[in-house]
């Protein structure tokens, strides 16, 4: 067994006991006593799984999550929790916000056999960038979950800068682990692509999103939903009919459904997919170009596809304050969107400074952990009500009731 595990805990005895049990089971183990020490280790070594106390102080835990999210590969996370439910909720929220694969939660005192049983259910595949293994779902569990209730949609708000209104939400796939964890989209998408389940996954996400959307419409809420699709989805003969069928099945206004296609998937030679996009646009479905400025899109394609929103790659908002070139690219992307009669969304906003920069440059909409973390449907509607009533603070943006 070549799996590598990093154990993070302030307790010497916990580190020693878990380390010994994991080594006896054939794992390569490293230990850290704090989030900062773990971050330092992750800067020089790669790991498949991180076993961390949920009670690591919030600052250190936040820093550790950011380091993990920025890695070139995707290690999974196991949380060890005591009686502090607030610390556990904070850790879960951070893992969800940063799309970190949370395999499960173990209670103190940790029993080695429980941890080993959890790890035994994890399959290893080669990382997307060829750097170590990534912890993902076993295929059999994935198939069972697709047919039952393993897949769950979560929603991240997008807010307009001009007036603070809720512009819509982006839908993300999460996997509900039987052990209490929540696996991120990376693990789900990787297995779906490698095993040929991508179309089923996309169709299932459309169905789940539409079901929630129908409930919101019945409550009088008009909230646009953005669902990610791929060029391979668009190549399927029945894709357009499936999308229209889902909209009609749930009696949804078509303009409340948005499909987002990544710039990396944009193919100007793919006549079929382009015609599908044009057809769906003609039926009222809205289209967004995701991850723009990542360096893939042939600009000539933008004149042929009826996108009405451009979503700028999150890396540019993150780097714009310190990197002049990143700011220039961000400025040009926003300007291009407006000249093409598209709105421009800056995603990945994580601080007041980043929000101020993209607002000054002219972005229309913002999305990111600083605005709101991804959340389930019930939490999203409560958040929307609280934001509308001025009970939510987004640093750098006046309260919603001031903007009306």
Please give the model's pTM, rounded to 2 decimal places. 0.73
Buried b (16+ CB within 10 A) or exposed e, 73-87: bbbbbbbbbeeeeeb
- pLDDT less than 70: residues of the chain: 1, 55-59, 83-84, 87, 97, 120-140, 147-148, 177-182, 268-270, 294-301, 398-404
Q: Which pLDDT tens digit goes with each residue over 4-44? A: 999 998 888 888 888 888 898 889 999 998 888 888 899 89
Q: Which of 281, 343, 264 has its CA nearest to residue 311?
A: 343
Domains of the chain in sequence order:
4-136 (3.40.50.2300), 141-403 (3.20.20.450)
Report the phi/psi class of residue 294: left, alpha or beta, with left for phi > 0 and alpha for psi in -120 to 50: alpha
Buried b (16+ CB within 10 A) or exposed e, 149-161: ebbbbbbbbbbbb
CA distance 29 to 20: 9
Q: Which pLDDT tens digit goes with each residue over 237-265? A: 899 999 999 999 999 999 999 999 988 77
Phi, psi of 374 (to 5 degrees): -60, 145
On the question of a cis peptide bond just before residue 390, with omega within 30 degrees of 0, the verdict is: no
């Amino acid at each position: 067994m070549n799996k590598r595990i990093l154990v993070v805990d302030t307790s010497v005895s916990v580190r020693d006991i878990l380390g010994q049990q994991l080594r006896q089971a054939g794992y390569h183990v490293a230990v850290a006593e704090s989030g900062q020490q773990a971050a330092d280790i992750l800067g020089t070594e790669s790991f498949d799984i991180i076993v961390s106390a949920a009670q690591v102080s919030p600052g250190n835990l936040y820093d550790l999550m950011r380091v993990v999210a920025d890695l070139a590969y995707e290690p999974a996370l196991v949380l060890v929790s005591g009686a502090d439910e607030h610390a556990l909720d904070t850790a879960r929220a951070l893992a969800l916000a940063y799309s970190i694969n949370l395999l499960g939660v173990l209670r103190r005192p940790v029993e080695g056999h429980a941890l080993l049983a959890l790890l035994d259910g994890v399959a290893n595949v080669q990382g997307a960038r060829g750097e170590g293994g990534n912890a993902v779902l076993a295929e059999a569990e994935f198939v069972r979950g697709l047919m039952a209730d393993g897949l769950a949609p979560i929603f991240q708000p997008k807010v307009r800068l001009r007036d603070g209104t809720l512009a819509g939400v982006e839908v993300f796939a999460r996997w509900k682990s039987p052990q209490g964890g929540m696996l991120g989209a990376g693990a789900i998408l990787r297995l779906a692509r490698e095993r040929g389940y991508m179309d089923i996954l996309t169709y299932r996400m459309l169905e789940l999103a539409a079901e929630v959307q129908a409930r919101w419409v019945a409550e009088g809420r008009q909230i646009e939903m953005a669902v990610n699709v791929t060029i391979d989805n668009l190549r399927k003969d029945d894709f357009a009919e499936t999308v229209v069928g889902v909209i009609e099945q749930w009696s949804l206004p078509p303009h409340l459904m948005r499909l987002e296609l990544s710039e990396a998937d944009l193919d100007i030679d793919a006549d079929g997919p382009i015609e599908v996009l044009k057809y769906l646009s003609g039926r009222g479905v809205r289209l967004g170009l995701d991850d723009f400025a990542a360096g893939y899109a042939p600009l000539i394609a933008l004149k042929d596809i009826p996108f009405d929103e451009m979503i700028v790659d999150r890396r540019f908002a993150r780097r714009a304050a310190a990197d002049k070139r990143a700011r220039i690219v961000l400025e040009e992307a926003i300007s291009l969107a407006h000249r093409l009669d598209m709105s421009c969304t800056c995603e990945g906003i994580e601080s007041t400074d980043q929000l101020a920069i993209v607002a000054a440059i002219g972005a229309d909409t913002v999305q990111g952990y600083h605005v709101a973390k991804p959340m389930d449907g019930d939490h999203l509607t409560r958040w929307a009500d609280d934001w509308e009533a001025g009970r939510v603070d987004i640093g750098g943006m006046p309260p919603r009731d001031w903007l009306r």
